Structures are given as C-alpha cells and as structure tokens.
C-alpha cells in the first residue's frame, strides 16, 4: 500500500495529519508514505487537489467529495467531534484498514450551507501566509499569557492604542476562514482577551496559542 500526503506551504494542518499517520502506521512496514508538495494552482488543477491536507490511499482520496473545490486552500474535515483540520485517528485507521467506519467514526454529509466532506478554508495560500505573519507580529508585540483548556483557549494581550483594533481585524479574518470554532474578544478587562472555543481536535487544527 502507498499513501500520498499532499500539502502546500502555508497551511499547517498537513503536519497534524502527518503525525497522525505516523501513529496509525506504527508497525506497518508494508505501507509506504510519500509526501507531495503542491506548489501552484496549475499543479492543483492537474492533480485534482482538493486542499491541504489530502491523503491518497493507492491514489484514491477516501474523504473525497464531488462538491469540494479544486485549488490551493486549507481543507477542513467533518469528524464525530465537529469540523477539524485533519481526520481523526479512528477515521484514518478505518480508511487505511479498508474496513467500514463504525457509527462513532462515520460522519454523514449534512444538508445545508456546508454540504459534503471536506470544506475548504476561504484563505488563499498567499493570504494565509500573510495572516500568519500578522499574528506572529501581533503576538511578539502584545502577547503575555495563554490559558489552555481542553475545549477553550484564552489568550491575553496587552491593551495599547492600536492593539484592540488590530486584534479585531485579525479575529474578523479568522471568523470567516476558520468558522468551525468560536472566536470572541473579551473586552471587559484591563487586558485584551481572545477566547477561542471548540473541540480538542478543532483547537489542535488551528495551531494557535
């Protein structure tokens, strides 16, 4: 068996999937893993690449959906716990083992504004890189404490003349591209507090905090 992990620079979720594949494939010397970087929109069209990360098992995408767009975008998957940036360990075990997913692992495609599996993030690769750079610059200037919980992340920032507006701008972008978690600014304290809530997998997919 050959597994191909497709990704592009600028979307961090493929590293989460890479780590989960390593756990699932521990003790499976019969499986070969190939990492394939997709660099251009032309490459994405030629490969029918539905976003990062994509996992192919002997050339077949087990999470494919006919409605998913082709292109350089971050891919979001439906899991039993909600939307996340990677399939769960159990979902990967099921598709790699060739067995049908259990009721606890299988997720039906819903009816509504987000049909099918997966869903693509709204940010382009260049916009995604720019957003990461904006976050890093903001953190370097204003971050002073992070509170981590299983389903809640609270990030404390110093309040300055421009930090509140910059944080609002950053959160506005995140709310559009990563709406599978809840983004909220708590403005009722001496400091600024960014509160992000979601499932453990969803928070891990963000790579924040």
Count other C-beta atoms under 10 Å from residue 122's C-beta. Answer: 14
Q: Which residues of 127-158 are buried (b: 16+ CB within 10 A; e: fewer)?
A: ebeebeeebeebeeebbeeeeeeeeebbbbbe
Q: Which residues of 91-112 are buried (b: 16+ CB within 10 A; e: fewer)?
A: bbbbbbeeeeeeeebebeeeee
26 with 103, same domain: the answer is: yes
Least Cα distance to 82 among 197, 176, 184 occurs for: 197
Contact partners, residue 196, CB within 8 Å, separation at least 6: 152, 153, 154, 155, 181, 182, 183, 184, 203, 206, 208, 209
91 with 158, same domain: the answer is: no
* DSSP run (H or E) holding 71: none
Q: Look up the pTM and report it.
A: 0.56
pLDDT in the model for residue 163: 92
110 with 194, same domain: the answer is: no
183 with 169, same domain: the answer is: yes
22 with 93, same domain: the answer is: yes
pLDDT in the model for residue 182: 87
47 with 114, same domain: the answer is: yes
Question: What's the CA gap between 104 and 171, in Å, rounded?
Answer: 33
Q: Which two three-digit tokens encode residue 104?
A: 């606890």
pLDDT along the chain (209 residues), means of 10: 90 88 92 92 88 91 78 80 83 79 41 32 64 84 88 91 92 79 89 88 60
Least Cα distance to 170 among 208, 203, 200, 205 occurs for: 208
115 with 129, same domain: the answer is: no
76 with 150, same domain: the answer is: no
Listed residues 120, 142, 176: the one ending a domain: 120
Listed residues 120, 153, 169: the one ending a domain: 120
Range of the structural domain that residue 197 is part of: 125-206
Listed residues 61, 90, 120: the one ending a domain: 120
Question: What's the CA gap between 34 and 153, in Å, rounded?
Answer: 34
What CATH number does residue 98 fall under? 3.40.30
Q: Which two three-digit tokens encode residue 194?
A: 């960014």
pLDDT in the model for residue 40: 86
Block residue for tokens 């903001």:
138
Helix axes 89-97, 13-24, angle to 10 degrees: 60
51 with 111, same domain: the answer is: yes
pLDDT in the model for residue 114: 29
88 with 190, same domain: the answer is: no
């Amino acid at each position: 068996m050959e597994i191909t992990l497709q990704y592009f620079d600028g979307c961090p979720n493929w590293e989460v999937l890479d780590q989960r594949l390593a756990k699932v494939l521990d003790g499976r010397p019969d499986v070969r893993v190939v990492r394939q970087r997709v660099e251009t929109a032309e490459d994405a069209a030629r490969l029918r690449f539905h976003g990062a990360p994509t996992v192919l098992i002997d050339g077949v995408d087990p999470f494919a959906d006919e409605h998913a767009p082709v292109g350089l975008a971050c891919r979001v998957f439906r899991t039993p716990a909600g939307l996340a940036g990677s399939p769960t360990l159990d979902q990967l075990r099921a598709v790699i083992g060739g067995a049908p997913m259990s009721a606890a692992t299988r997720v039906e495609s819903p009816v509504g504004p987000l049909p099918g599996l997966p869903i693509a993030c709204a940010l382009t690769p260049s916009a995604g890189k720019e957003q990461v750079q904006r976050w890093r610059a903001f953190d370097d200037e204003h971050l002073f404490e992070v509170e981590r919980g299983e389903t809640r992340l609270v990030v404390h920032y110093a309040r300055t003349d421009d930090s509140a507006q910059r944080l609002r701008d950053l959160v506005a972008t995140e709310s559009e591209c990563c709406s599978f978690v809840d983004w909220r600014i708590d403005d009722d304290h001496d400091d600024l507090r960014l509160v992000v809530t979601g499932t453990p997998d969803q928070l891990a997919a963000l790579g924040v905090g």
